[in-house]
Amino acid sequence: MSKKDLGLLILILVVGAVVAIINPRFLLPINLANTSNLIGLFGILAIGQAFVIITGGIELSVGSVVALLGVLFVDFIATRGMAWPVALPLILVLGGIIGLAHGWLITRLKLQPFVVTLCGLLIYRGVARFYTADGTAGFAFGQNFPELEFLTAGRSYGVPNSFIALIVIAIVMWVVLHRSVFGRYLYAIGKNEEAAKYSGIRTGRVVMAAYVICGVLTALSAIYFAMYTRSISPASHGQFYELYAIAAAVLGGFSLRGGEGSLIGVILGTVLLQELQNLVNLLGIPSSLNFAVMGGVILIGVLVDQQWGVYRERRLMLEATRKGAAGAAAE
């Protein structure tokens, strides 16, 4: 765990302690379970986003994808009678295809990630609304999928299974990002794509793979969100979720220029964001201020981080000067 991650963890604990002191309900098992469920859902989304951001890209369409794939999933299993073990992988594949399409447009046709995914944001939202004729997709009364519901919305030993899923995914993705050949390529491309290319890395394929990973993880979280809300109105479902994911990555130390950030960071970023949401609810802050609180905290976080970097550099310089002076005196 880097110093940056440790700082974030301490911030999370301090904020948690303060909230718990003001409102002890923060520590109630039901509140913790709810919050960790949300951390699970948004965390999966944020990990996908992180893989794209590390390459210096951005994926703005995830909120709309959550809506579109959520609508499709519910429609497949609730109205079309598809078995969920068939529908689930199908949705994941669809998410992968969306990611592949984005990656292809970005790497082969050299379009800017912001533009491609902004168009995606608009297109998928429109398609989702058209698909249900702007109606709500949901389950009929009494319709049950016990195993699926257990896996997505259920709990084991009081811990939401969505949170457990996040932990499992996080561990796997940590290995991929920080230990694998592919992960090294991602960092290299994020730092300097040209130099990576000149080192014989097939940068196009690697970047495309990052978008596919993002697409699949987004699809997975779309299923979780669908099973969590159980009814989806495609006009608003998943709105701004891309921004939650990006915010979590930025809080977690990712640079939008690429090449920087850790998996632990993005998870901690998600945790902090959800903690803030919870704080707004528990401290009786008007929920209309929700976004303002989040924006404010992110801004302060990024500022402190940057100023800390400046301070550390200055201290290093001073230390070197002192050493130099001592060395000169010794001569």
Partner 1 sequence: MNYSDASIGASTIAPFLSLEGVRKTYPGVVALDGFSLEVRPGEVIGLVGENGAGKSTLMKILGGVTTPDTGTITVDGVAHDGLTVEASIGSGIAFVHQELNLFENLDVAANIFFGREPLRAGPLRLVDRTRLRTLAAPLLKRVGANFSANTPVSALSLAQQQMVEIAKALSIEARLVILDEPTSSLPLAETDKLLDVIKALKAGGISVIFISHRLHEVERVADRVVVLRDGMLAGTLPKNAINHDQMVKLMIGRMLKEREKAAESGRPPGAVALSAKAVRTSAYPDRPVDLGVRRGEILGLAGLVGSGRTELARVLFGIEKSLGGSLQLDGKDLVLGSAADAVANGIFLVPEDRKLTGILLDLSIAQNISLPNLPAHARRSLVSARAEAVTAEKQKRNLGIKAPSVATRTGTLSGGNQQKVVLAKWLAMSPKVMILDEPTRGIDIGAKAEIYGLMRALADAGVAVLMISSDMEEVIGVSDRIAVMHEGQISGILDKEQFSQENVLLLAVGKQPK
Nearer to partner 1, 180 or 287 (CB): 180
Q: Does 109 bind partner 1 (CB under 8 A)?
A: no
Nearer to partner 1, 150 or 198 (CB): 198
Q: Which of residues 150-189 bind partner 1 (CB under 8 A)?
A: 175, 179-185, 187-188
Pick from 198, 291, 308, 311 the residue near partner 1 by CB under 8 A. 198
Nearer to partner 1, 180 or 307 (CB): 180
Shortest Å, Cβ 189 to partner 1: 10
User: Using CB under 8 A as the criterion, what x/- string covers residues 225-264 for binding partner 1?
Assistant: ----------------------------------x-----
Shortest Å, Cβ 330 to partner 1: 12
- DSSP tag of 231: E
Shortest Å, Cβ 295 to partner 1: 30
What is the C-alpha separation between 160 and 154, in angstroms, rounded? 6
Shortest Å, Cβ 192 to partner 1: 5
What is the C-alpha separation between 226 and 241, in angstroms, rounded? 14
Nearer to partner 1, 121 or 212 (CB): 212
- DSSP tag of 230: S
- List, as one string, the DSSP characters of 69-126: HHHHHHIIIIIS---HHHHHHHHHHHHHHHHHHHHHHHHTS---HHHHHHHHHHHHHH
Query: Can you say whether residue 258 is alpha, beta or left, with left for phi > 0 and alpha for psi between -120 and 50 degrees?
Result: left
Pick from 81, 146, 286, 327 the residue near partner 1 by CB under 8 A. 327
Sole residue written with tokens 């389950």: 139
Shortest Å, Cβ 53 to partner 1: 16
Shortest Å, Cβ 188 to partner 1: 6
What is the C-alpha separation between 271 and 237, in angstroms, rounded? 21
What is the C-alpha separation between 132 and 126, in angstroms, rounded? 10
Nearer to partner 1, 78 or 177 (CB): 177
Q: Does 194 bind partner 1 (CB under 8 A)?
A: yes
What is the C-alpha separation between 224 and 312, in angstroms, rounded? 42
Pick from 29, 81, 200, 286 the residue near partner 1 by CB under 8 A. 200
Q: Which two tokens stand for residue 94?
A: 């669809």
User: Taking the CB of residue 242, how many other CB atoms lie within 10 A of it?
Assistant: 25
What is the C-alpha separation between 296 and 281, in angstroms, rounded? 16
Q: Does 284 bind partner 1 (CB under 8 A)?
A: no
Contact call for residues 245 and 49 (beta carbons, < 8 A): yes
Contact call for residues 41 and 99 (beta carbons, < 8 A): no
Instruction: Choose one: 1-9, 159-167, 191-199, 295-303; the region binding partner 1 (CB under 8 A).
Output: 191-199
Pick from 12, 32, 118, 201 the residue near partner 1 by CB under 8 A. 201
Shortest Å, Cβ 130 to partner 1: 40
Q: Does 320 bind partner 1 (CB under 8 A)?
A: yes
Q: Does 323 bind partner 1 (CB under 8 A)?
A: yes
- CA 20, chain centre distance (Å): 26
Total residues belonging to the chain: 331
**To which H or E segment does residue 232 belong?**
strand 231-232
Interface contacts to partner 1, rule CB under 8 A:
175, 179-185, 187-188, 191-192, 194-202, 204, 259, 317, 320-321, 323-325, 327-328
